[in-house]
Structure 1
Amino acid sequence: MANKKGNRRNFGSVRQLTSGRWQVRYRDPETGLLRPAEKTYATKTDAQVALTHIEADITRGQWADPDAGAVNFTDYATAWLRDRKLADRTRERNESVVRLHIIPTFGAGSIADVTTARVRSRRGKLLAAGVGEPTVVKAYQLLRALMNTAVDDEMIRRNPCRIKGADSYDVPERPVLSVKEVFGVADAIAPRYQLLVLLAAFTTLRFGELAALRRKDIDLASRLVVVRRAQAELQDGRLFDKAPKSAAGVRAISFPAELLDDVTHHLEQFAAPGRDGHVFVGLKGGQLRRSNFRDDWVTAREAAGVTSELHFHDLRHTGNTLASTAGASTRELMTRMGHSSSRAALVYQHMTSDRDRAIADRLGAMIRQGGREEDPD
């Protein structure tokens, strides 16, 4: 377009185009060449103000190349996921969320095309479509992390994921069983899984931690269960053991003396042979899977008459509540549950303390008072 008239200055210039609008040109701080601004302006004053802002951004080191964000979103997201150091199961979950809930909206455009308004709209549509809130939150968190990297790469100036409250959700209160109800579920389930229920409730171990236990992880003399690893399952069905997420996840947990006979009986009757044999195995002797345990869990839950909302993981919540009732402090609860804390380096030593044994002993007293019926024989 022809230049009718302009106003040149050392840093850049403004000029009126044949359309009547005003164009800003300025020197690219990286190449030194004149380049036009991304848009034109209705008045000369507006153009001069825009030029002043661009010059200020460059002076402060806050200028970003407008063309940098032109990279295709899908290409950038794919490379971003590929280059992240993630555990196999976490990588699989993240890739699934990006593929199903992020790429369909932003994949065809560029990084610069992702705006706060579009992020807000996508979040609302996912919730309206009935996608679970935890999944929607996870999608938002991943998108925000990706766009943070784009900011670091100087592809965009500001992260568009700035929606208040979008990175969290209210977790509904989970059911808590009484000691008697815990034993009711344990008595109702197949014998090979009774100890699984009891340890989940009275040591607060996760399903994956229980499934990964070996015989050598059980110390009958000291009444300890040592957690060294956790089982994970990929979408293709492959099982593998992984290290805990933090040092605090490696821990030794005391179990009540009232469960010693249960533990001993289980090791004699159901555990796989050898020191490295799994403590819990499936009906045919294979590794324990959620899928081959689920039906037994649902049947036992119904037979025991507890709420149908009870998930196996709720036994962990129950155990935490019971331990708190037994007098465990917040720090002791975090250690028993394997949560990261400032004491992450403390692994076995702390957990073999008299204080932890006392917690287990008080849990045992609760079992005697309100849980298991005495064997008349």
Structure 2
Amino acid sequence: MHIADTTFDTKGRAEGWLAQERRLIDLDIWTSPAARAAAEAAAKAEAEMEAPEVVCFGPYAKNVVATRVSRRGKPLSRRTVDSYTYLLRDHINPSFEDTPVADITFEMVRTWYSNVSRRRPHGRKSKVENVNRDVPTTRARAYEVLRMVLNVAVEDGLISQNPCRIKGATAIEPAHDATVLTPAEIDALARAMPAELGASVLLASWCGLRPSETYELRRRNLNADCSILTVAFAATYRNGKTVIDRPKSGSTGEVVIPDHIRPAIRRHLEKHVAEAPDALLFPDPVTGKTMREWVYRRIFKAACAKIGRPDFRPAEQRHTGGTVAAQAGGTLPEVMERLRHKTPQAAMRYQRIAAGRAQTLASNISKFANTEPPA
């Protein structure tokens, strides 16, 4: 006795099923309904096991960032991981998090790129006037991260071609031109700062230091006559704590301090720095520990207002250092070494600025010609 695997709502359908069974018997290919059902279930289970797993973009991108290494084969720096995480969370995942990686198309990327936010969200410490301040680099950097994740997907065999193929999408247009102080303005800004922080302006502006690098300078980083400064660490404040790490891009090294500021640095050591080798050059005025960046920024902003340069920001001290090095005649390799750049692209910015002094150079040539004795 063999029973159908379902009931029938009409006699005609039941008779049709019996007729089909008799046809299979006549063809000598009949097996029992139960055996056929078991074979179909086994085939379905096997197909499901062989079907590729659906990999969604969100968890895949998170794993890529967690396991990615730098060009030197080392884990990504904390700063880089924080940047990638922010761009994924705020600008990429809202569009792609639940989308299978294999389903992301060029059209989807193009639509996302045209709509991705180019504005910084209102932070806890932001001023009201800074809400929705335009940040045009965000879109280019978000695109770089999306392209990086999908390049890894190509390597993993999840997709055959990266859909990120928008020409010029990674070109970064600065929100504004970086400002540069003149030597007189650098001196004025140093005097406008509190006495214990004035030397930070001199070192950052004349030696091309990042603010995070000045926060972690210690007495041992200066040699005996204050002619050489060793940049070894940087201090950043993230997620409620100060983290001491290598400078950005691992750009450690020695910097020769210009002669004209060495006396000021020596006076700073005598008056404001403890004798211990690990004593901070510029400790936080409130805690006495490593400077917190927003504390320094607040003091720095007040000093800039005093000298009539409220547009100048702490990070632009490094830009000033690179510019004066190029204007003083530094070649591209020399500027790269002084600012500890790994690639020539960044140092080229200062060479272009120096090239804008063509009229000054021509005038200096004329002065030189006029002072030469006749042959």
What's the TM-score, normalizing by structure 2? Answer: 0.69
Look up the match of 2:283: 281
Separation of aligned partners in 2, 1:327 and 1:208: 27
Separation of aligned partners in 1, 2:135 and 2:110: 16
CA contact (8 A) 1:119 1:161 kept: yes
Highest RCO, 1 vs 2 (Cα 8 Å, sep ≥ 6): 1
Look up the match of 2:43: none
Look up the match of 1:101: 91
CA contact (8 A) 2:218 2:278 kept: yes
5+ long unaligned stretches in structure 2: 1-46, 69-74, 120-131, 345-375
Look up the match of 1:260: 262
Separation of aligned partners in 1, 2:216 and 2:339: 16
The alpha-carbon deviation at position 117 of structure 1 amounts to 1.6
5+ long unaligned stretches in structure 1: 1-34, 36-65, 343-377
CA contact (8 A) 1:220 1:260 kept: no
Say if 1:69 and 1:156 are closer, same or farther in 2 by CA, change over 3 A. Answer: farther
CA contact (8 A) 2:235 2:290 kept: no
Q: In structure 2, what residue type is equivalent to 1:134?
A: T
The alpha-carbon deviation at position 201 of structure 1 amounts to 0.9
Taking only aligned residues, the RMSD between alpha carbons, in angstroms, comes to: 2.2
The alpha-carbon deviation at position 161 of structure 1 amounts to 0.6
Q: Which has the larger radius of gyration?
A: 2
CA contact (8 A) 2:226 2:262 kept: no
3-state SS in 2 of match to 1:70: coil
Look up the match of 2:231: 227
Separation of aligned partners in 2, 1:244 and 1:288: 15
CA contact (8 A) 1:69 1:112 kept: no
Structure with greater proportional strand content: 1
The alpha-carbon deviation at position 311 of structure 1 amounts to 1.2
Separation of aligned partners in 2, 1:118 and 1:292: 43
Separation of aligned partners in 1, 2:226 and 2:203: 15
The alpha-carbon deviation at position 276 of structure 1 amounts to 1.1
Q: In structure 1, what residue type is equivalent to 2:60?
A: Y
Look up the match of 1:81: 65
Q: In structure 1, what residue type is equivalent to 2:169?
A: A
Say if 1:244 and 1:163 are closer, same or farther in 2 by CA, change over 3 A. Answer: same
CA contact (8 A) 1:127 1:133 kept: no
The alpha-carbon deviation at position 257 of structure 1 amounts to 2.2
Separation of aligned partners in 2, 1:69 and 1:159: 19
The alpha-carbon deviation at position 121 of structure 1 amounts to 1.6
3-state SS in 1 of match to 2:280: coil
Question: Is residue 180 of structure 1 aligned with residue 157 of structure 2?
Answer: no
The alpha-carbon deviation at position 128 of structure 1 amounts to 6.5
Separation of aligned partners in 2, 1:79 and 1:180: 51
Separation of aligned partners in 1, 2:169 and 2:278: 45
Separation of aligned partners in 2, 1:194 and 1:233: 22
Separation of aligned partners in 2, 1:288 and 1:134: 28
The alpha-carbon deviation at position 68 of structure 1 amounts to 4.9
Say if 1:319 and 1:128 are closer, same or farther in 2 by CA, change over 3 A. Answer: closer
CA contact (8 A) 1:68 1:155 kept: no
Look up the match of 1:191: 195
CA contact (8 A) 1:201 1:318 kept: yes
Say if 1:193 and 1:67 are closer, same or farther in 2 by CA, change over 3 A. Answer: farther
Separation of aligned partners in 2, 1:274 and 1:102: 48
Say if 1:272 and 1:96 are closer, same or farther in 2 by CA, change over 3 A. Answer: farther
Separation of aligned partners in 2, 1:128 and 1:90: 20
Separation of aligned partners in 1, 2:332 and 2:320: 15
* Runs of 4+ residues over 3 Å off in structure 1: 66-70, 127-131, 244-247
What's the TM-score, normalizing by structure 1? Answer: 0.68
Separation of aligned partners in 1, 2:135 and 2:233: 29
